[in-house]
Amino acid sequence: MEEIMMNESDFGDIVATMDETLLEREIRRPDRLEILSGAAGRLPFQMAWAPFGHVNRTARLAIIGITPGREQMGTSLRRYRRARQEGLDHAQADVLGKATGSFSGGMRATLVRCLDEVGMNRHLGIASTSSLWGVHNGLVHFSSALRWPIFVEGRGKDAGKMVNYTGASPKPLKVPEFRRVIEEVLVPELRELADDCLIAPLGDAANQMVMHALSLMPGFDHSRYLAWMPHPSGGNRDISSQFLGDPPSPSRVKPLNPLYRQQAMSMRAQLANRAMTGAAAS
């Protein structure tokens, strides 16, 4: 098995010297930024570098997705490259690239709605969690259970293309390389976070990976764990909508699942309880 751990600044130096055309080519089809490749079950996969390595050790909330998609990879790399060309070093550019690329695209608005719905903005003392990507970025640690972008060979209409890995098939814990990333990258990352930092994985796949990581961390305070936040991707829109309590479409045929709304209410109560406990302790 190829090495997974590497000096991330070496990849950063490569990006810093790329012109725009070469960078866009790397985003579409990683070559010089490839970390490793192999087979996930029967599907070929590729793992590529993008600037998602910064750990915010003072964050009060860690939001953990599955793996950055190609859109997030591109957004982060473009911001990172611009920062390096403006004279910033790797560590400084990494912070900017990650903050810009994390949960970028259409999913960000849905994620903000879900976080505000359960009262995360009140827990953090801000008007809306949308400012976590701006003036209040210091309150949050953005991450993915699989830190770097992973692409797998598509099926059906996507046959012959390398598409975003969704965590659905194959299951990440069944792929040795993915399991190693969880155990050798995610676990040390979680250990760097503050003892009162809340951990919020997004969706079932991220939840399974983070739970595996926490099983390797004896003494973790599970009251910090927020287990039911849906993944905000477009493919998961129906679950997010039910979590938010949005009115169903009049043409809807499939019955609603009340569990999703109950999970939102449970998370809201969990955060409110933490607030009362903290107030009592002080």
Cα 153 to Cα 14: distance, rounded to the nearest angstrom: 26
Neighbours of 223 (CB within 10 A): 11
pLDDT of residue 3: 54
Cis (ω within 30 of 0) for the bond into 149? no
* DSSP state at residue 184: I
pLDDT of residue 1: 41
pLDDT of residue 277: 75
- Token code pair at residue 83: 């920062």
Q: What distance lies between CA 253 and its chain's CA centroid?
A: 32
- Per run of 10 residues, the mean pLDDT along the chain (length 282 residues) is 71 98 98 95 94 98 98 98 98 97 96 98 97 97 98 93 94 96 97 97 97 97 94 95 96 95 97 77 54
Partners of residue 200 on adjacent β-strands: 63
pLDDT of residue 139: 98
Which domains does the chain show, CATH number per domain?
8-245+254-273 (3.40.470)
**Nearest in space to 198 (alpha carbons), one of 59, 55, 61, 56:** 61
Q: Are 274 and 197 in contact (CB under 8 A)?
A: no
pLDDT of residue 6: 72
Q: Are 53 and 94 in contact (CB under 8 A)?
A: yes
